Amino acid sequence: MDAATKDAAEGAERLSESRDKILTELRKVIVGQDAVIDLVLTALFTGGHCLITGVPGLAKTRLIKTVADILDLSFKRIQFTPDLMPADITGTEILEETGGHRVLKFVEGPVFAQIILADEINRTPPKTQAALLEAMQEYHVTASGRTYPLQRPFFVLATQNPIELEGTYPLPEAQLDRFMFNAVIRYLSEDDEVRVVMATTGDEEPTLASVLSGDEILAAQRLVRRVPMVEEVARYAVRLVDASRPGQPNSPDFVGRWVKWGASLRASQSLVLGGKARALIHGRFHVSVADVRALAPAILRHRIVTNFYAESDGVDADTVVDRLLETVPAPASGMSGP
């Protein structure tokens, strides 16, 4: 085994151990929701952002705050409300008197932290939602012609209620596309809900330990990008995304009937990068078709825009993704994985 291979194997082992430590701490507070937790960790180790969708009361905010508590990173919570303005997020310039002179000074907003909880992001109008666009993509903020860098790692975890609930604003497609995942959090099983009720109505408060520093997370993100992927698996990811676009030569008939807009190039990139992180998290230094397929619903559901015919047929984006996974042929030689 050469030195590079040995370093990669050791890095994969460390990342898998880090994931286990994070899960140990999270499970002191969060019951169930393993699929959502895996997506949040995958986004963390790839430098992506995660949107968590679910009805009120399913511990969306509690999950994110717990993740922030066990990572050695700065944390800010932004409560999105209808009257929130863009400057309330990014910051603003104020007039300050210094030595007899008045100068403009930029006061940083809450976006200047490493973990941002954008709570109920669809409670505020699109103009304010868009204030996060530059930060999420470019990792800096521009105000009055000046650019202010954000500290890395920078990780946005947003929550939203389903858009059909009263008082919400659907996120614009450009904003949605900045999120690597849209993780749907669902109701717990009866046994898990009993555990939650018993734990949250008692007087014990769990003590959480800090697990990872910013430098360790950045090292993990660099390692993820070094994971090899055979071209056949990458091509499968691209074909899956391309098939979601109506009018393309390889798109199925049901896409032409139900889909207005298909997934973007970012979806292909997210499938590949997310597949690499998922492989490492499961202790492998290669990406399989199974990794791509496991992440496809969370990566594609918020990037596929259905049309009137889909609504009339009772079809949503998740149904389209399921049909795509059934229809687009996977390479037989793709390495297997969990």
Q: What CA–CA distance (Å, rounded) separates 117 from 115?
A: 7
- Residue 337 reports pLDDT greater than 60: no
Using 50, 70 and 90 to split pLDDT, how confident is the model at 260?
very high
Comparing CA positions, the residue from 246, 237, 307, 285 lying closest to residue 4 is 285
Q: Where are the domains of the chain?
A: 3-216, 228-327
- Structural contact between residues 161 and 122, judged by C-beta atoms closer than 8 angstroms: yes
Q: What CA–CA distance (Å, rounded) separates 291 from 273?
A: 10
| Torsions phi, psi for 145 (to 5 deg) | 80, 0
- Residue 97 reports pLDDT greater than 80: no
- Residue 1 reports pLDDT greater than 60: no
- Residue 35 reports pLDDT greater than 70: yes
- Residue 268 is predicted with a pLDDT of 96
First-last CA distance in the chain:
25
- Structural contact between residues 211 and 296, judged by C-beta atoms closer than 8 angstroms: no
Q: What CA–CA distance (Å, rounded) separates 201 from 208?
A: 19
Q: What CA–CA distance (Å, rounded) separates 234 from 259?
A: 24
Comparing CA positions, the residue from 115, 133, 132 lying closest to residue 77 is 115
Q: What CA–CA distance (Å, rounded) separates 108 from 205?
A: 33
> Minimum mean pLDDT among 79-83, 104-108, 238-242: which range?
104-108
What percent of the chain has pLDDT above 70? 93
- Structural contact between residues 94 and 104, judged by C-beta atoms closer than 8 angstroms: yes
172, containing H or E segment: none
Structure token pair of residue 155: 């990780």
Q: What CA–CA distance (Å, rounded) separates 246 from 334?
A: 27
Q: At the topology level of CATH, where does 3-216 sit?
A: Rossmann fold (3.40.50)
Is CATH 1.10.8.80 the right assignment for the domain spanning 228-327?
Answer: yes
Q: What CA–CA distance (Å, rounded) separates 18 from 33?
A: 19
Beta bridge partners of 169: none
- Residue 107 reports pLDDT greater than 70: yes
- Residue 211 is predicted with a pLDDT of 85
From the CB of residue 74, how many other CB atoms can be counted at a distance below 10 Å?
Answer: 13
- Residue 269 is predicted with a pLDDT of 96
Q: What CA–CA distance (Å, rounded) separates 75 from 71?
A: 9
The residue with tokens 């898998």 is 16
Beta bridge partners of 107: 92
**For the whole model, what pTM was predicted?**
0.88
Alpha carbon distances (Å) from 225 to 47, 193, 218, 302: 11, 38, 11, 24
- Structural contact between residues 279 and 227, judged by C-beta atoms closer than 8 angstroms: yes
- Residue 164 is predicted with a pLDDT of 66
Q: What CA–CA distance (Å, rounded) separates 249 from 53?
A: 33
Q: Of 187 and 4, which is predicted with more confidence?
A: 187
- Residue 2 is predicted with a pLDDT of 58
- Residue 9 is predicted with a pLDDT of 67
- DSSP state string for 226-263: TS---HHHHHHHHHHHHTTSTT-TT--HHHHHHEEE--
> What's the chain's average pLDDT?
87
State the maximum Cα–Cα separation within the chain, in Å, rounded to a whole number. 74
- Residue 203 reports pLDDT greater than 80: no
Alpha carbon distances (Å) from 175 to 131, 148, 172: 10, 21, 5
- DSSP state string for 63-104: HHHHHHHHEES-EEEEE--TT--THHHHEEEEEEEETTEEEE
Residue-wise pLDDT tens digits, 146-179 = 888 999 999 999 998 876 666 778 888 888 899 9
